[in-house]
């Protein structure tokens, strides 16, 4: 599947910088809000940006590698939590409600027959990926289908709403293992440094996880392309998120990136289409071991550092008020010239 993602034009950069520098404040005194405002202006190609109808899309799927004991969360937690999200009582629910996000739930590959009528979009590719310690997690055809279906979710949001800022979350026991593999393969960071506790492994559990992933890496039988590595080790929810991110960038939307797993997804997406990073704002630096290393490898910083490791898009949604403040700054603050205040820097 092909995407047409244009690098963000910098034609208006001088005008944006001039506007920010001449607001009634010392130059640079609003720090990262100024950086954010500049980035958003360039994404939207305007000196007066706006945020409209934010959405958080949560993709859920199961991972075959969980059979190897790499997670403390049993597989049934995925479908149980997905149902919980639909009822409105989970972590991501109160955050979306607080910050005005619409939560979109997508079954990408949950190992359960989700009944209709609960507001969960059925994009299921298969009931769980295969165990990548033994074989490829998904086929090339399933990989392409995930990209397509992720893009379709964004297309439907844009067809029915005026959304121009979107975040993505996930639910899937075992997906920190898949993310660690992508992190290692797409950054070159030693595998051991890419592996953390996930949902709560102790030190012996983390060591076992490393052994499983190391053996899985040795057993890789693909042809070495980015797509092959993503398909061999990835999750349906992860590849679907990649397709959604690429479509959002293609549409010129602001993408708020969540924690470890979604950062691994934007990392993989950037290895296919580097310009996708022009549209990404990184919501936070999570508590999962390796997340900071991955952010450093991408040359970016999270807006928040609250020791979060929930997933679901929680850190991205938490960061939204900061993004909103950056937009309010450039739109609501007066210039020195307008109010006849002498520049004091």
Three-class SS state of 167: strand
Which residues on adjacent β-strands are paired with residue 254? Answer: 165
Three-class SS state of 11: coil
Which residues on adjacent β-strands are paired with residue 281? Answer: 256
Closest CA to 248 of 216, 208, 296, 281: 281
Residue 125 CB neighbours (<10 A): 22
Closest CA to 123 of 103, 106, 143: 106
Q: Is 233 exposed, middle or buried (0-12, 13-18, 19+ CB in 10 A)?
A: buried
Residue 88 CB neighbours (<10 A): 13
Strands 55-61 and 102-109: parallel
Q: In what order do the strands lie in the sheet with 120-122?
A: 120-122, 102-109, 55-61, 165-171, 254-257, 280-282
Give CA 259 to chain center in angstroms: 7
Backbone angles phi, psi at 72, to 5 degrees: -80, -15
Known catalytic membership, residue 250: no
Q: Is 141 exposed, middle or buried (0-12, 13-18, 19+ CB in 10 A)?
A: exposed
Tokens read off for 90: 């989970």
Determine which one of 97, 312, 324, 337 is catalytic. Answer: 312
Three-class SS state of 281: strand
Tokens read off for 307: 């020791």
- Contacts of 96 by beta carbon, 8 Å cutoff, 6+ apart: 56, 102, 103, 317
Stated as kind and residue range, the H or E segment containing 256 is strand 254-257
- Contacts of 39 by beta carbon, 8 Å cutoff, 6+ apart: 281
Catalytic positions, written as ranges: 312
């Amino acid at each position: 599947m092909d995407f047409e993602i244009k690098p963000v034009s910098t034609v208006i950069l001088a005008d944006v910088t001039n506007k920010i520098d001449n607001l009634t404040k010392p130059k640079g005194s609003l720090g990262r809000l100024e950086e954010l405002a500049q980035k958003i202006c360039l994404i939207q190609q305007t000196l007066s940006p706006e945020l409209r109808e934010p959405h958080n899309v949560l993709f859920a799927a199961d991972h075959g590698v969980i059979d190897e004991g790499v997670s403390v969360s049993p597989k049934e937690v995925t479908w149980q939590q997905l149902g919980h999200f639909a009822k409105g009582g989970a972590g991501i629910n109160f955050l979306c409600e607080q910050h005005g996000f619409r939560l979109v739930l997508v079954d990408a590959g949950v190992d359960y027959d989700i009944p209709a009528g609960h507001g969960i979009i059925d994009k299921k590719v298969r009931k769980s990926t295969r165990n990548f310690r033994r074989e490829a997690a998904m086929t090339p055809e399933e990989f392409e289908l995930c990209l397509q279906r992720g893009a379709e979710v964004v297309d439907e949001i844009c067809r029915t709403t005026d959304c121009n800022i979107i975040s993505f979350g996930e639910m899937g026991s075992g997906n920190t293992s898949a993310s660690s593999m992508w992190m290692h393969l797409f950054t070159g960071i030693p595998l051991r440094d890419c592996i953390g506790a996930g949902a709560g492994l102790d030190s012996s559990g983390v060591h076992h996880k490393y052994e499983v992933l190391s053996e899985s890496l040795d057993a890789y039988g693909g042809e070495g392309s980015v797509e092959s590595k993503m398909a061999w080790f990835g999750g349906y929810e992860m590849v679907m998120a990649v397709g959604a991110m690429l479509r959002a960038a293609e549409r010129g939307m602001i993408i708020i990136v969540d924690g470890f797993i979604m950062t691994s997804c934007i990392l993989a997406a950037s290895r296919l289409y580097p310009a996708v990073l022009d549209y990404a704002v990184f919501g936070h630096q999570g508590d999962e071991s390796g997340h900071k290393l991955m952010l450093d490898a991408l040359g970016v910083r999270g807006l928040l550092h609250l020791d979060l490791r929930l997933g679901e898009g929680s850190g991205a949604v938490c960061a939204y008020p900061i993004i909103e403040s950056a937009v309010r700054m450039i739109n609501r603050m007066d210039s020195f010239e307008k109010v006849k205040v002498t520049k004091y820097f």
